[in-house]
Amino acid sequence: MKFCVIGLGRLGRRVATGLTENGMEVLAIDSDESIVASIRDEVTQAVCMRVTDDESLRSIGIEEISTVIVATGENFSQSILITALLKKMKVPRVIARAVNSIHKDILTLLGADRIILPEQEVGTRLADTLSYPFTDFVRLATNFSISQMVAPQKFVGKTPRELNLFEKYNVNFIGIKEDETKVTRDLDYTIAEDDKIIFSGENKYLEKIAKL
């Protein structure tokens, strides 16, 4: 799978290098030569150019790219132009960064497949982390999330099968994180102290189980 990241600020650079670390083929683009030079050894290919029209995109082989991430959010007009060009050229998936709700609305009208507002998402994630007693918390919908928490003392010495988590607590068991490299989904695994259990479910039920 081939990706293209346009705009190598903090967000774009992290996405580009993260995708590369995950084994993806990544083309990174920015108009600043020093930025391009600094990332050249961390991605598949890095190109210094300013995207201005269809031809500039064709020159980098955009037809072969399955997903393009437009991370030039600070430059409002350029972000809109690039997104419009990509959708016109029928790129399969266009993900664009927005800096505010108006920007998001415009990108939506242009047909962006996904729009991210990094500051808003980080703010929401921080608020969730501070509001709920979990070691990690990912909101999938307004009232439904995946959470990770240290096993309550009353769970220690028991197995997920014995706990009947859905029947008793209305949460789904996803797995147990034994350490930073291993997650087990074995229903007959005996839960140890300090194990981190991963759940999914409605927030109100996740909050209740966190208070056990």
- Looking at residue 33, what is its pLDDT? 94
| Strand bridging mode 2-6 / 67-70 | parallel
| 175-182 long-range contacts, CB within 8 A, separation 24+ | 176/151, 177/148
* Cβ–Cβ < 8 Å for 24, 3: yes
Provide the 10 A C-beta neighbour count for residue 38. Answer: 14
pLDDT for residue 124: 62
Local confidence pLDDT in tens for the 212 residues of the chain: 799 999 999 889 999 999 999 899 999 999 999 999 999 999 999 999 998 888 989 998 988 999 999 998 677 889 999 999 999 999 999 999 998 889 999 999 999 999 988 776 666 665 665 555 555 667 777 788 888 888 888 899 999 999 988 988 899 999 998 777 778 888 999 998 888 899 888 988 888 887 77
What is the dotted CATH code of the domain comprising 2-116? 3.40.50.720
Q: Where are the domains of the chain?
A: 2-116, 122-210
Please provide the CATH number assigned to the domain covering 122-210: 3.30.70.1450
Give the C-alpha separation, 63 to 210, whole Å: 48
* 13 vs 134: CA distance, rounded Å: 29
**How far apart, in whole angstroms, are the C-alpha atoms of residue 41 and residue 11?**
18
Structure tokens at 190: 């005996």
